[in-house]
Structure 1
């Protein structure tokens, strides 16, 4: 499944021949393509991948449900959405909507169980340009050219090896030493160097996302809306994107990135250090404190997360006199702390 733009808004193409957009009844056409075992890709192949997102419904349930998905026939998928979503076709480009092989899913009981092994080498059945040959956790994954792929003649690579490298610094050095040929990201402090010395290899692409911090409003001092608002108002977002991140990011003053579904939201607030200081002073006076109690900011291991957290920590100290402890955690530990709400301030899951 990939995204095309042709004389209008982006279109999602699940398969090579063609596509049809959602009609007035909310139906999307799923056109034929072959699985590696010579079977057609059908609407059921997409429904089978949605055990917790879009539950398949029978005809009796359909008229009563408010949200759902069903395959009307082999080539027609009907979807009911909770709200009008103008960028829904773009969402279908996400890998959670890619088709899977229903007989494989059923044989492993993978609709309702995790860890069944259906996606392991020798078990996984897909319709992409490569097949999974090797998967060593925390070591490497290897894929090889799929000889049954519908457009196999245009696939030039016979094999690709993927290496899970946690440190972006290590990843960047591996690229410069020719150990790997493509990276997922670049350390912010190395972007300017690559722009100057390695311009042809550096590709900066737009990513639809919003970076934000989440407050635990059940713990002091973040249970007070004035403190939370003051922290938000005192962040210099322009300085963050220009001097810390350096990759063309835009300051965010709302939750909807510009151009989402053809819509650009206006700012919901603006930075205001003077107002932030007033809110903190009012909070301190009312609570009888001389300073805002110290709290921690937790983030999962990432050089970019670390740089952003350090910059915001310095801003809050300079403008508001607020002391923040930074706590870096490995991904699994971080997720557990989010689940248990053991911290006051967290960066997003990413």
Structure 2
């Protein structure tokens, strides 16, 4: 019980620890392991073990630090970056990681037929937006070029204050060109190259096994550039969507780290096994995405009424119980020094919500029809959806239908627009408000709700062209005020990262992005 587990004295987690294998709960099977196509947090956790970008994020401070690039220079007032590759950086087949591997990967991510949803992250790079939109057909015009194997030169349209931090995202990871060409994936959405035995990666691990509904297994990359910082021999990720099942797996010694914690057990664990409960701030927001292109959600008055009729504190205190905070804005407070004025935030106001619904032509909810709420399988998403449905019924007379989909089916529904209201979340790719607000730009591939407001887009563009941080944040606050005023989404709560972790796991640092590159992580010796 000292390690929060009960049962046999030598558990699967103990055996795995002896072998240097970390056992991690991961909520769902990855939809893909293609860095250009991955969109979920679960995929990013796995990809962070398989691949490594030009720079990494320090697990404690999140400040950029050398990775595949050993150093860099920032020139021309921030419009030019010159990266010098680490000669030790190798692919898992032993070949050298070269500057051209990044150029190849970035050009591929921008191809319209690839459909990279994070392609908008490349916007600061010269000609990236023209290539992404199809206006420029020649991908060689992208402002990224290799000067020999060891130097990568990146030219920007304008200075981008968060550019180095953005490079930690999986969309910027390099790709092994020969592997993709072998399976015809260099310019197509083909997945054979991502299978065990086919994938060649440059991170601390390589892909050893991927069994649907069982696990994804990573094992040590013998050619990794920094073996002195890698103490683990691998990691196994288990797709356990039921939080109670995951809780039992941890307590019976089958996991070292969980994805979440059953709210019903938080109090008990905090009292009896505090050394196993990890809780810390997380730059993320849980929200309901409204399909702005689908009646009646195309009417902002309806969206605002639905948003105002939710008691967020009741959801947190009655269901979650993990230190979350009610969200009346989209960007979490304190993100990169940004702050939204109180007057611009959403309100919880049932009386006003009823008036807005009546003004939209649906007094007392009459004529509105049932509002479908789509969510992916999870023991937490279901009770939240039920609570929201009850609040809409009691406060507005609006009925809702709940649709529970598997992770792949949920992603497909979002991308195709086959939803009215969809359970959503966003965790920052880098610690700045732009990481949140860019999601709802008209041109964003992540804008699944099809919200479009030229003035909002204009404000984001003006903010990007504003070098002064204070003035830039003021522009971003104007943009967020418009976003909330139109109720493009319904924010519900700001995340607190809550999970279980074995005290034997050392070096798994808490940080606001919950970013982990597995370096420095190791196991303490077993208690005797």
When normalised by structure 1's length, the TM-score is 0.82
Q: 1:183 to 1:48 in 2, by over 3 A?
A: farther
2:101 to 38, 45, 52: 45
- Which of residues 63, 75, 79 in structure 2 aligns to 1:10? 63
**Taking structure 1 as reference, are residues 20 and 63 closer, same or farther at Cα in structure 2, changes over 3 Å only?**
closer
2:384 to 284, 308, 318: 308
Shift of 1:333: 3.1
RMSD over aligned Cα atoms: 3.2
Measured in 2, the distance between the counterparts of 1:11 and 1:322 equals 48
- Residue 69 of structure 1 contacts residue 80 of structure 1 at CA under 8 Å; is this kept in 2? yes
Deviates more, 1:134-143 or 1:214-223: 214-223
Q: C-alpha distance in 2, partners of 1:144/1:156?
A: 12
Is the counterpart of residue 348 in structure 1 residue 424 in structure 2? yes
1:330 aligns with 2:384: no
Aligned position for 2:285: 210
1:119-155 residue CA offsets vs partner (Å, 9 max, x unmatched): 3223322222222222222222222222322322343
Q: Give the SS at the match of 1:203.
A: strand
- 1:228 deviates by 1.5
Q: Structure 1 residue 291: deviation in Å? A: 6.5
1:111, CA displacement in angstroms? 1.8
Name the counterpart of 2:43: none
User: Residue in 2 aligned with 1:59?
Assistant: none
CA distance in 2, matches of 1:133, 1:145: 9
Show the counterpart of 1:243: 318
Shift, 1:175, TM fit: 0.9
Cα distance in 1, alignment partners of residues 281 and 258 from structure 2: 16
Equivalence for 2:144? 70
Greater RCO (Cα-Cα under 8 Å, separation 6 or more): 2
Residue matched to 2:41:
none
Does the 8 A contact of 1:142 with 1:160 survive in 2? yes
Deviates further, 13-22 or 110-119:
13-22
TM-score (norm 2): 0.57
State the alpha-carbon separation in 2 of the partners of residues 241 and 152 from structure 1: 43
Using the TM superposition, give the Cα deviation of residue 290 of structure 1 relative to its aligned residue in structure 2, in angstroms. 4.6
| Count of residues paired in the alignment | 341
Q: Is the 8 A contact 2:78 2:159 kept in 1?
A: no
Specify the alignment match of 1:282 in structure 2: 359
Q: CA deviation at 1:301?
A: 1.0
Structure 1 residues 155 and 222 mapped into 2: Cα distance closer, same or farther (>3 Å)? Answer: closer
- 3-state DSSP of counterpart to 1:118: helix
Q: Which runs of 5+ in 1 are unaligned?
A: 56-61
Match of 1:94 in 2: 169
The 8 Å contact of residues 126 and 143 in structure 2, kept in 1 or not, is answered as: no
